[in-house]
Each structure stands twice: as C-alpha cells, then as structure tokens.
A and B are shown apart, each in its own frame.
Chain A
Amino acid sequence: MSLELKNLSILKQGSTIFDPVNLVIKPGEITTIMGPSGCGKSTLLSAVSGNLDKIFSLKGSIRLSGQDMADLPMEKRNIGILFQDDLLFPHMDIGSNLAFAIKEKTSRAQRKTIIDNALKTAGLKGFEKRDPSSLSGGQKARISLLRSLLAKPSALLLDEPFSKLDQTLKAKIRRFVFSQIKKMNIPALLVTHDPMDCPEGGMILNLNKEKG
C-alpha cells in the first residue's frame, strides 16, 4: 500500500517543468514537497490525483499499491485530497457532508456510528446538524479532513492545507492531520512552501529544475 512516483516529470509544450521525481512513500509516512510558487508543486499533485490540465503531459509512472494510476480517471484512483479551502458543501449539514464520503453498503445505523466516532476523534461531538458556515476555521479544517478520510482513500494528498489557518491553530491542526494519517496507515504527499509544515522525520523533496 505505498505510493510510488518513478521518473515522474510533467511536460508543457515539450519541455519538462521540473526534474524527474523519484519517490516511494510507505503507508503512514508523509513526504513533503517544497519549492517556491510556480515551481510546479500543485501541478505535480494534480498529476497524482488525476486532475492534470490538458495543456500538460505526463512522463514516468505513478503507482499506488502496485497499480498503475496513469489511465484511471480521478474518481477511480481512490486518492483523497485535502485543500487549503475547506470546500464543505454549504447546503448540507456537517453530518451529511461526512455521510457523502462514506462508501456504499453501510447501513444507516453503521453510518451514524461512523460519523459519531469521526466527530468524537476531532473533538466535535454533536456537530452533525450544524451548518458548515457556523464553524470556525479550525473546525472546518478538521471536518474537511475527516470527510476525505471517511472515503477510505488508499493515499492522501495535502495541497497547502494549513496555509489559511492562523499561527496558533496551524500547529494544532497539523498534529491532528498527521496523527490521523498515521492512524489510517496510508501514504501522504504534502505540498507546502512553509518549512514549519513538514512533519518530524518525514522526507522532504525540493522541487527544482536544473538550468541548462
């Protein structure tokens, strides 16, 4: 169940936008990709998630648990994403937002327990009926992560997920996110420009392009 990027490079009009990436992320590990804005961090993430813009083309391979992802559409890859915006559906309550992620073949009672437990782990017990817009930034961030994880992804991508939170909140949410990834035991790829975001002991990759 590891995420492997082998000789992965992305081309725009025939030329690569960064040097080929070689990575193996084991379950429960978080690898961080750093680099200045415009270096192609987000493009790399969208390539892994399966949402690469048509102006780009892909070279190399992306494998998840040994399976090649290249030809799978985004929704079939079973890769979760966490964005900097919470992107909760504003017309649904918190419970429905979470239920939307749970896979089929779960009875109504089971779904309720799953949601209850998830909310409890986030310290948000009893939030099922709340309106997403009534939540604080930190609460939304936690719900957003829970939603991504309830879909039982085989890997998680984190696209600058902490950049919109204020300093005091950042550390707390970071710990929560990292602990959940450990608990789920899935590989995670984090993109950020803030060195503080990197988990302790995690691998860090600087995305750059050699001149020439």
Chain B
Amino acid sequence: MSGQAKGRIFPVVVISFFCVTILAGLFGTLLPSLNYLPVIGYTRISLSAWFDFFSYPGIQASFLVTVFSGITASVGVVSLAFLFITFSYGTALWKFFEKILSPVLSIPHAAFAVGFGFLIAPSGWFIRMVSPALTGFTIPPDWIILNDPAGVSLTIALVIKEFPFLIMVTMGALGQLDIKKTLLVGRALGYSKEQIWLKILIPRLYPHLRLSIFAVIAYSLSVVDMAIILGPSSPSSLSVLILKWFNDPDVSFKLLAAAGSLFLFVIVLLSILCVYFMERAVGVFLRPWITNGNRRCFLSPLKPIIFFMGCGTLFFTAVSSVILVIWSLTWQWRFPDFLPTTWTLTFWAKGLMSSFDPVMTTLFTGVASAFIGLLLAIGCLEHEVAAGKTKTRNYTGYLHYFLYLPLLVPQITFMAGIQFFLVIMKLDGYWISLMVSHLLFVLPYMFIALSATYLAFYERVTDQAMLLKRSYIIVLFRVKLPMLIKPILFSFAIGFSVSVAQYIPTMLVGAGRFSTITTEVVSIASGSDRRAIAVYALIQQFLPMVMYAFAIILPKILYYNRKGMQV
C-alpha cells in the first residue's frame, strides 16, 4: 500500500464536516447545560441546570415513557424485520416488498403520524368502520388511544415507520452474503430454509445491520415530530419536553433544555452500549444452539403472524394515506358515518395558497441539499473505486463509520449545540445554514442508497472508455454516470425526501425564520381542523413522491430507444 487513492478530498471533506458539526453540536450543548450561555447573560459555570432538570415536575414519567416507547419500538422492529426476512425471503411477498419499498419509505414521518392518528383516534376511521353496528357508539368513546400516556400508539407507529427502513438496509446487505449457496448447503445438510436463516444467515447479516439498528434505537428514543403528534402530552416524552423548553419565551429554559438533551444523548448512548454487550452475550449463549444439530424449527407457528404483521405495516401506511385524502376532501363528516356526507375542494384551495412559501422553502432546501449530497456521495464512491483498483491508501473504512454519526446522536442534542455556535458567529437564521444542517442527514441516506449499485458497476466499461477517451472527467460524465442514471436519481429522490422530513434542524437552525411544510404540519397537527391538517400532510407526502416519480420516469424518457438501459 503506497500512495493515496485519488479523489481523497471527498471523504476528507465529509469526515471533517461530520466531525466538526457533531463535536461542535455536543460542545455547544454541554456549555449551556453547565450554565454558560453568554447571549442571555449566563457566564458562571455551575450544575444548577442539571439539578433543575432532575427535579422538574413529571420528569420521571417523561423518562419512563421515552425509554419504554423507544426500546419497545426498537426491539419490536428489529425482531419483526429478522423474522420477516426469515420467513419471506424468496417468496412473492418479499419481491412485492422490494418493489413497494421506496414509495413507502418516502412518506415523511409527520404525514404518516397524522394519518395514523386519524385512523386510531376514538373518532377515527377504524371506530367509524364498526360503529354503530358493532360498538353501538353514536358519539366517539372517551378512550385515550391517541396520545396515550404510556406511548403505545407512538410505539406502534414507530415500528410501522421503521420496518421498511430496516428491510431496505437488509436488502442492501444481502448482496454481500452468498444467500443462494448457503441455503443450498444448509438444505443439503437437512436444515429447512427458516433454520438456515436463524442459525447461519442472520448471525452473518447482523454485523452489516449493526449501525442501522443503532440508528433505529437513537431515532426511536429521540423522535420529536411523531411524538408531538402521537405521543403522550402531559407528561410528554423527553425530546418533546426539551423542544418545548428551547422554544419557551423564558430564555433561561434553554439551560434546562441543554441539560435535558445531553441526558437524552446519554440514554441513547447507554442503550446502544447495552445492545452492543447483549450482542456478545447472545453470541455466547446461542453458539451451542447453532451447532446442536437441532433441525426442528420452533418458530414455524409464528410464520402467519409475522406475515400478517409485515403486511400490516404496509396496510397501515396505505390506509393512513387514504384517510388523509378523504379528510382533505371532506366538508361534513358526522361521527359514526363511514364516509363524509358532503365533499369539498375548499380546503385544498386554501391549503395550496397558504402553503406556497413553506413548500418553496422545502423544495429549495431539499433540492440543494440532495444535489450537494449527490456530489459528495459520488466523490466518495469514486474514491472507493479508485482505491479498490490501485490498492492504495484510502479513507473508505473510516467513512462508513463517520457517515452514521449524525444518525446515532439525537438530532435535538447536537442541533441545539450547533445553534449555540451559529448564534455566536451570527450565522443563525440563514438559509444556507439550514440547508447545510439538512445535508448532515441527507448525505448518509443517499450514500447508503447509492453505494451498493455504484460499487457493483462493471468497471471494465470505464477502463475501455478510458482507453478510447483518456480523460477521466469525460469518461465519468459521458459514460459512467449516464449509465448509472437510475440509481443516481433514486438516491437523489431519497436525499430529497429525507430533507423534506426534517423537523428538528429546521426548527432549531432555522431560528424560526424558515418554515417548511414539515414544521407547518407538526405545528397545526395539534389544532382541531382535520381537513386543513390532512391537506398539509398530503402536500408533505406529495413532494417526495414527485421526486420518486421523476427518478423513475426520467431515465425511461432519456433512454426510451435504448433497450440495455431499460433494465
């Protein structure tokens, strides 16, 4: 290994960008939590914010509901994903999931949460479906289903929303394992497919999914937008409480918020550490089970349940969108009726007018961050390809770890810290800061989405092109990238949809000067008019869909007469 692979500027820029922002973010949260916030006149270091935090009324309940919903959702979704792949890999259902995954993933969390709430609320569609025929209800029951104090509805919604994400990551990782041959060998030794998955393939799959699972844990523990819409309200989960403190008119609450968000970070860190050690323990305990020769599959009875639950996540996602469409067109809808009695387009007309500015902000921020994300992702991948060809020193190994960093730290913890420094540097409230803060989350997802296909590109084609043209740039832009147009546009659409869904960065870095469709949805979601909320949620859902449609249709138009490009 001598020399360095070319294009190393890209990974270096990305790694430093991530390190600087996250370190700054954590440091910028640490200082206010220690009573240091000169902007509002606090300069004496002390632990008073921490004492205030731990003695805040109801903090214990907040802590418990955060940990309960976060951990239950993570454990639930990871087990469901592993069992689902065990039972469904290679079946028609799995192939269906492969097709349907991107549109499902593109639905922003907030929009889904709103629709989900419209389904399960006491006056929601599900109860309307069976009322009054089965229940006898003529007025909505006074059950606390939505915003339940234990966070059950939030937990279920988290599982539904994160399941497709884990499946997507799994699909990416499967390419690196020799699934077909392993199944063949295992079956020749007398094991059924399910047993081979449980005993051989999942233990091999796990290391590839580890970081994504950690990201799921971090997200579930610190989710804000979904928790505002579906989570308990008093006391609310920690992340929601922290955001409330940040936005409190009494600025001294910012110190409390800083302490709280650092505490949340510690919870996330401990949970991840816990899982890390559990991995080892499970490994030790399960090793004898793997080689004990047992060929019976004790989990087989679960198969229909797992199928049902896997399909259930899709069903809920789909019906959540349907109910949004219905509500957005409603004029009058009395309680036990299955459908509205009168319909209208009024709320669409109003909503489209009033959402114009937030939609434009969302569009510009999304397109800009996805475009920069794409440049950086391709740059890093080209570096990886070059390193693989020339066997030179490279930054690829580090990059994969650093890329996940923004997904492992609660957004609210380091975004608040970044705002601390932005205020000092007088950079807060600029659009460019907002866009860059989105980039932190856009880039990892784009990279994950693009890397597998990009690295699988048949490099002989570029080699051949290099012999003919002798210019790396020409070959890259005229041969390689056009051939990869599909995955590139897809990755762009994913980046865009991640940007659209951002709530915390917009709230904190935008300093209240920018509202996107997402911040609008969340802020009106607690309001009373379902019709207006539905319109906004649908607009939010619509934006990423447009980008996905674009990613599917554009290559077909550009290469309509090229059969080799239609695969």
Residue ranges of A at the interface with B (Cβ–Cβ < 8 Å): 49-51, 73-76, 78-81, 83, 85, 87, 89-92, 96, 99-106, 108, 111, 147-148, 151, 153
Add 7 more A-B contacts to A49-B188, A87-B184, A106-B293 (CB < 8 A): A75-B193, A89-B200, A91-B203, A100-B291, A102-B293, A151-B188, A151-B190
Q: Which residue of B lies closest to A85 (CB)?
A: B181
Which of these, A83, A104, A106, contacts B295 with CB under 8 Å?
Answer: A104
**Inter-subunit contact B290/A96 (CB<8 Å):** yes
Q: Which residue of A lies closest to B200 (CB)?
A: A89
> Complex formed: what's the CA distance from A111 to B200 in Å?
19
**Inter-subunit contact A104/B203 (CB<8 Å):** no
**Inter-subunit contact B293/A87 (CB<8 Å):** no
Interface string of B188-219 (1 = CB under 8 A from A): 11111100000110011000000000000000
B185 lies within 8 A of chain A by Cβ: yes
Residues of B within 8 A of A75 (CB): 186-193, 295
Least Cβ–Cβ distance between B184 and chain A, in angstroms? 6
Q: Which residue of B lies closest to A49 (CB)?
A: B188
> Complex formed: what's the CA distance from A153 to B192 in Å?
15
B294 lies within 8 A of chain A by Cβ: yes
> Complex formed: what's the CA distance from A85 to B182 in Å?
11
> Complex formed: what's the CA distance from A155 to B504 in Å?
63
B287 lies within 8 A of chain A by Cβ: yes
Residues of A within 8 A of B294 (CB): 104
**Inter-subunit contact A101/B189 (CB<8 Å):** yes
**Inter-subunit contact A99/B200 (CB<8 Å):** no
> Complex formed: what's the CA distance from A105 to B294 in Å?
8
Q: How many residues of B contact A (CB 8 A)?
A: 25
Q: Which residue of B lies closest to A95 (CB)?
A: B291
Residues of A within 8 A of B203 (CB): 91
Q: Which residue of A lies closest to B291 (CB)?
A: A99
Task: Give residues 18-63 of B contacting A (CB, 8 Å).
Answer: none
Q: Which residue of A lies closest to B188 (CB)?
A: A81
Which of these, A73, A81, A111, contacts B185 with CB under 8 Å?
Answer: A81
Which of these, B189, B204, B293, B295, contacts A147 with CB under 8 Å?
Answer: B189
Q: Which residue of A lies closest to B295 (CB)?
A: A104
> Complex formed: what's the CA distance from A210 to B185 in Å?
34
B292 lies within 8 A of chain A by Cβ: yes
Least Cβ–Cβ distance between A7 and chain B, in angstroms? 25
Among A83, A87, A90, A100, which residue has the most Cβ atoms of chain B within 10 A? A100
Which of these, A92, A96, A102, A148, contacts B188 with CB under 8 Å?
Answer: A148
A74 with B187: in contact, given A89-B200, A96-B287, A99-B293 (CB under 8 Å)? yes
Residues of A within 8 A of B288 (CB): 108
Task: Give residues 272-293 of B contacting A (CB, 8 Å).
Answer: 287-288, 290-293
> Complex formed: what's the CA distance from A80 to B189 in Å?
6
Interface string of B172-185 (1 = CB under 8 A from A): 00000010011011
The binding surface of chain B is classed by DSSP as helix
Least Cβ–Cβ distance between A191 and chain B, in angstroms? 15
Residues of A within 8 A of B185 (CB): 81, 83, 87
> Complex formed: what's the CA distance from A80 to B188 in Å?
5
Residues of A within 8 A of B204 (CB): 89-91
Least Cβ–Cβ distance between A98 and chain B, in angstroms? 9
**Inter-subunit contact B293/A104 (CB<8 Å):** yes
Residues of A within 8 A of B293 (CB): 99-106, 111
A100 with B290: in contact, given A75-B192, A83-B181 (CB under 8 Å)? yes
> Complex formed: what's the CA distance from A89 to B186 in Å?
10
Residues of A within 8 A of B193 (CB): 75
**Inter-subunit contact A100/B189 (CB<8 Å):** yes
Among A73, A151, A153, which residue has the most Cβ atoms of chain B within 10 A? A151
Q: Which residue of A lies closest to B288 (CB)?
A: A108
Q: Which residue of A lies closest to B180 (CB)?
A: A51
Residues of A within 8 A of B181 (CB): 83, 85, 87
> Complex formed: what's the CA distance from A108 to B294 in Å?
13
Least Cβ–Cβ distance between B179 and chain A, in angstroms? 12
> Complex formed: what's the CA distance from A9 to B383 in Å?
52
Least Cβ–Cβ distance between A43 and chain B, in angstroms? 14
Among B191, B192, B288, B292, which residue has the most Cβ atoms of chain A within 10 A? B292
Residues of A within 8 A of B187 (CB): 50-51, 73-75
**Inter-subunit contact B190/A78 (CB<8 Å):** yes
Residues of B within 8 A of A74 (CB): 187-188
Q: Which residue of A lies closest to B296 (CB)?
A: A104
Which of these, B178, B190, B287, contacts A103 with CB under 8 Å?
Answer: B190
Residues of B within 8 A of A91 (CB): 203-204
**Inter-subunit contact B292/A104 (CB<8 Å):** yes
> Complex formed: what's the CA distance from A78 to B178 in Å?
23
Residues of B within 8 A of A147 (CB): 189
Q: Which residue of B lies closest to A75 (CB)?
A: B187
**Inter-subunit contact B291/A96 (CB<8 Å):** yes
Instruction: Identify 20 residue pairs between A and B in the complex whose beta-carbon atoms are under 8 Å apart, listed by A's number.
Output: A51-B187, A74-B187, A75-B187, A75-B192, A76-B190, A83-B185, A87-B178, A87-B184, A92-B290, A96-B287, A100-B189, A100-B290, A100-B293, A101-B293, A103-B295, A104-B292, A108-B288, A111-B293, A151-B190, A153-B188
> Complex formed: what's the CA distance from A103 to B191 in Å?
10
> Complex formed: what's the CA distance from A26 to B527 in Å?
80
Which of these, A50, A83, A148, contacts B189 with CB under 8 Å?
Answer: A148
> Complex formed: what's the CA distance from A49 to B186 in Å?
12
> Complex formed: what's the CA distance from A81 to B193 in Å?
16
> Complex formed: what's the CA distance from A83 to B292 in Å?
24
Among A74, A90, A103, which residue has the most Cβ atoms of chain B within 10 A? A74
> Complex formed: what's the CA distance from A35 to B64 in Å?
69
Least Cβ–Cβ distance between A184 and chain B, in angstroms? 15
> Complex formed: what's the CA distance from A212 to B293 in Å?
50
> Complex formed: what's the CA distance from A148 to B188 in Å?
8
> Complex formed: what's the CA distance from A13 to B190 in Å?
30
Among B178, B181, B190, B192, which residue has the most Cβ atoms of chain A within 10 A? B190
> Complex formed: what's the CA distance from A102 to B190 in Å?
10
Residues of A within 8 A of B199 (CB): 100
A151 with B189: in contact, given A81-B184, A83-B181, A91-B203 (CB under 8 Å)? yes
Least Cβ–Cβ distance between A123 and chain B, in angstroms? 23
**Inter-subunit contact B190/A51 (CB<8 Å):** no
> Complex formed: what's the CA distance from A151 to B203 in Å?
22
Task: Give residues 102-148 of B contacting A (CB, 8 Å).
Answer: none
> Complex formed: what's the CA distance from A81 to B190 in Å?
11
Residues of A within 8 A of B192 (CB): 73, 75
Least Cβ–Cβ distance between B293 and chain A, in angstroms? 4
